[in-house]
């Protein structure tokens, strides 16, 4: 009688059904663990690229505004000194680039490395 109790679970179980269950399980695992993370990374990269374009465009407009401000507010920079606002804005742009590179290099990845060591 004891042998009969576990056999009722195997009733209707076929090798074909077991193979299908394993295949379904494998497909769900592949979709969950590989395809979805790739989609998430792609979305993250797309938003990051779009944000970078917007920040770059905004920085360019701010640098152009600084140039126009220097040209309009300081009339002493007319004539032979008209090149000076361009140099000032170019130095300012180099400063913005240097600051950006410094923040990238000393970012979160570097801080994580210090924690794990």
Number of domains in the chain: 1
Report, as an integer, the average pLDDT of 83-92.
96
Q: Contact, 30 vs 22, CB < 8 A?
A: no
Q: How confident is the prediction for the chain on average, in pLDDT?
A: 85
Q: What is the CA radius of gyration of the chain?
A: 32
Q: What is the pLDDT of residue 1?
A: 47
**Strand boundaries in the chain, DSSP class E:** none
For the whole prediction, is pTM greater than 0.85?
Answer: no
Region of poorest pLDDT, from 28-32, 51-55, 69-73, 93-97: 28-32
Q: What is the pLDDT of residue 111?
A: 67
pLDDT exceeds 60 at position 17: yes
Boundaries of domain holding 58: 2-116
pLDDT exceeds 50 at position 74: yes
CA atoms within 13 A on the CB side of 26: 6
């Amino acid at each position: 009688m004891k042998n009969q109790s576990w056999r009722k679970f195997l009733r209707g179980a076929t090798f074909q059904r077991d193979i299908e269950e394993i295949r379904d399980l494998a497909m769900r695992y592949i979709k969950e663990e590989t395809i979805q993370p790739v989609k998430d990374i792609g979305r993250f990269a797309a938003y990051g690229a779009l944000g970078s374009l917007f920040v770059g465009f905004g920085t360019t407009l701010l640098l152009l505004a600084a140039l126009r401000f220097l040209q309009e507010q300081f009339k002493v920079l007319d004539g032979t000194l008209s090149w000076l606002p361009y140099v000032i804005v170019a130095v300012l742009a180099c400063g913005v680039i240097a600051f950006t590179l410094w923040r990238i290099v000393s970012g979160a990845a570097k801080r994580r490395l210090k924690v794990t060591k």
